[in-house]
Amino acid sequence: MRTVSTLLAGDHFVRNDLLAASLSKLEGVTFDFREVTLPWPLTPYGRVAEVDEASDAEDQLIAALPGVEVAVTQMGPFTERVLEAAPDLRFLVCCRGGPVNVNVPAATKRGVIVSSTPGRNAVAAAEHAVALMLGALRKLPQLQRTLEQEQWRSDLYAYDECGSELDGATVGLIGYGAIGRRVARVMLAFGAKVLVVDPAIDPSSAPGGTEVVELDELLRRSDVVSLHARLTEQTRGLIGVKQLALMPRGGVLVNTARGGLLDYEATVDALESGQLGAAAFDVFPAEPVPAGSRLLTAPNVVMTPHLAGATRQTAQRAGSIAAEAVAAYLAGRDPIGLVS
């Protein structure tokens, strides 16, 4: 039976015990585990050397990696410096949708195969997007505040004060990956009409009861717009002043994808003018949201601190997908989420 020296560089969400439990289920192999526990999310991630969204732990990884063939991490900073100190590393699994904390060209140059765990948080993120959408449509934070202030505001039943339903609404989804597809199914179940923008989809073959349109048309027709696109150089700043002006007055905007997709200053302007009736955010241009941000006093906003993927099932699923990737690597097959 083969023994594989493996580094588990988990954290306080995707924990090492979850990773070890998933890997230990693989048949025909035993693992010699080394463990490093990274501080996220108790300590925020950030940029480390040339990689993004990582825990500042290069020295810890460098000390643990000699002799290691396989490494599994979520927030480990696999920079060029770290990879230089890991001559025996051959396979690296990043337990995220994309390995932003890995210098992939440097890994490839050194013969290290890199994979990710796509879809690990799709259920959680989709459910959270729907929750934010409903919270914005039904003005739930404002209603809760009235009770916290010991008010019983039955006047909020007035026509001009009450919220809106998803049934019969048009919901536009910008991005139709694993998360967007799940949101679409829920929207259809609610009785909404679903429009989709995604360059990877052929407009002539609209999936699952949805309609594929161009971005401007989606914005003009949608009562609710929800962002689910990846942040790339092409999508950065995708929604700004011009795009917000295309939306029907009083529409709702939801962003659970990445802060860089959206011009937040323009969004606050649209909320204050009434062009947007409400908005909901789990991601922001700067995280944490800085003190004094206009977002903190903007009207009709629902916000959560980048926790859309935070469920126990997401962490467990990350371990399971990582184990599948390791099994594929050991069998000489391309693993799921292969990056390089």
What are the residue numbers of the active site? 258, 287, 306
Strand 170-174 vs strand 193-197: parallel, antiparallel, or unpaired? parallel
| 153 token code pair | 């505001």
| 88 token code pair | 């025996």
Helix axes 140-148, 122-137, angle to 10 degrees: 70
Across the strands, what pairs with 276?
251
From residue 101, alpha-carbon distances to 38, 232, 327 in Å are 13, 15, 23
> Whole-angstrom Cα distance, residue 241 to residue 323?
44
DSSP state string for 34-63: EE----TTTS--EEETTEEEE-S-HHHHHH
> Whole-angstrom Cα distance, residue 193 to residue 204?
17
Separation of CA 146 from chain center: 32
| 182 token code pair | 């799940």
> Whole-angstrom Cα distance, residue 159 to residue 42?
44
